[in-house]
Amino acid sequence: MDDKNLGRHSPGALDAATKARIRAEEAERLRVRAELEAEAAGQVAAPVEPAVSLEKPAPAPRPAPEMKSGKFYLTAPKSPDAASAAPAAIQGTTADAWKGFLSLALIVVVGFFLIRACTSAIGNAFTPSPAQAAQNAEDKHWNDFGAACMVAGDSQLRSPASAHYSNYIIGHDTGTLSGTYQGGYTWRGYVDAQNAFGANIRTNFVCTADPNSDVVHMKFAGGSN
């Protein structure tokens, strides 16, 4: 059958797109036919599934020790981030240490001044005024004067162990003990003591001290010092 009998269905009457499609279909049929023939002949192998291993992966090898100055050090690669982070960490630790030191120093200084202020205040509270200090000194002098008078009186008595003197402290208040250390003291009192026969006898006395002196003079009534 020629192209004339085929009319518009003849190959000459087909456009280029239809011809290309026909050629592609024919090529596909040829390829499928060839695969079927090869499979029948046993030349095409079945696809192989990839093998799956159930064993655990081997651990990464540890770095070998490096000998430095008689000691072993493990060498390991350092990442750039770790190398750059180390100086920053050291700087942060140093800054924290300085802050702690300054805080401690400030606490010590403040505590020192507080203790000094408290000590000064306590000292001032217990330190007497000049007038009080002078009065304390005067009280000590007349107490010493009274005790010295009794010692001087005992030396003149026959039985010093039995002696009982009038109270010179009360005498200071009643006027029987008068005077000051700078002007001299005078104590007019009495003593009860046993005589040679063992009888208690009251004897009056006058005890004096010169101005600004610790030397006393004891004189019993009816006798000399």
The b/e string for 32-55 (b: 16+ C-beta within 10 A; e otherwise) is eeeeeeeeeeeeeeeeeeeeeeee
Q: What is the mean pLDDT of residues 212-217?
A: 94
**pLDDT tens per residue, range 88-103:** 556 667 777 888 888 8
Range of the domain at 211: 140-220
**pLDDT tens per residue, range 84-141:** 555 655 666 777 788 888 888 889 888 888 888 777 666 666 677 888 888 899 989 9
Residue 28 lies in a domain: yes
Structure tokens at 33: 């036919």
Residue 105 lies in a domain: no
In the chain, how many domains are there? 2
For the entire predicted model, the pTM comes to 0.44
Residue 183 lies in a domain: yes
Residue 109 lies in a domain: no
Judged against a pLDDT cut of 90, whether residue 220 lies above it is answered with: yes
Q: How far is CA 58 from the centre of its chain?
A: 52
Residue 45 lies in a domain: no
